[in-house]
Amino acid sequence: MTAQQPHQDIGTLQLSEIKTRQQAVWSSGDYAQVGTTLQIVGENLAEALALRAGERVLDVAAGNGNFSLAAARRSTTVTSTDFVSALLDKGRERARADGLQMHFEVADAEALPFADGAFDCVGSVFGAMFTPDHARCAAELLRVCRPGGRVGMANWTPEGFVGRIFQVVSRHLPSPLAPPSAWGTVKHLEELFGQCTELAVQTRAFNFVFPSAAAWLAHFRNVYGPIRNAFIQADDAIATMLEEELLALAESLNIADDATMVVPGEYLEVVVRK
């Protein structure tokens, strides 16, 4: 979907069918290979949220647990959730290897199975932003956070590397859903969390470091569900265009001063106080 293509009202779609497709996308490949490289983002978010020992922390759409692990290292009581059980299994392996205790539960970010105000802090690193119904997800994040608690997120921006990747894909394979990168704009965050007393946003970047742009794309085509799925869906002509445009994008943003690839991926670090 491009900025010029209005997304279809999600109410006219079969939500369960959309979620089933999304589960299949995130289950394909091996997102954990991407997720583990993003650990620093979880650590930074934990610092921004000023986590304290003993706090009850929920990680929503946790993937293989970057924010969960960061929170557990700070002696909090962590519940790590995702709607893809295989990703939670990867999180369990990481927690066990690090000697960290936490609870894991399969859960839908738009219908969290927890009581109102059950957590002191609710976080999500590049996870909740991919839900189909943004308003419903934001309402759930706030609902399970106690009054005075914090909601923290890391969301790719539309202007950054990952946001532009999705723009390339959606030009050739349009989606009926609102773009996930909308969560990476202050305007959208204010619309979603406007009832809160405090919204703090900081622009950060995560560097994608690879031997070359070609090596990055080959890796992501293999392990990163959304890109892997796009190439599976595409016919030969569209697949060729996707490859050319994604390589050109990576090369245009490359800041490495040698033959390797270093591409900053801009994201918003968000802290909401309920």
Kind and range of the H or E element at 76?
A: none
Q: Which domains does the chain have, with CATH numbers?
A: 10-157+176-207+267-273 (3.40.50.150)
Paired tokens of 29: 């490949």
Distance CA 58, CA 24 (A): 24
The per-residue pLDDT for range 193-204, each reduced to its tens digit, is: 988 779 999 999
Looking at this protein, which amino acid is placed at residue 16? S
Across the chain, the runs of DSSP E, i.e. the strands, are 56-59, 77-82, 103-106, 119-125, 145-156, 198-210, 261-273
> What are phi and psi for residue 44, nearest 5 degrees?
-65, -40
Looking at this protein, which amino acid is placed at residue 236? D
Q: Which residues contact 81 (CB under 8 A, 6 or more apart)?
A: 58, 59, 60, 61, 62, 88, 104, 105, 106, 107, 109, 112
pLDDT bin (cut points 50, 70, 90) of residue 50 is very high
Q: What is the CA radius of gyration of the chain?
A: 18
Residue scoring higher pLDDT (13 or 183): 183
| Per-residue model confidence (pLDDT) at position 132 | 93
pTM, full prediction = 0.91
Q: Within its chain, how far is the Cα of 274 from the centroid? A: 21
Kind and range of the H or E element at 180?
A: none
| Per-residue model confidence (pLDDT) at position 25 | 76
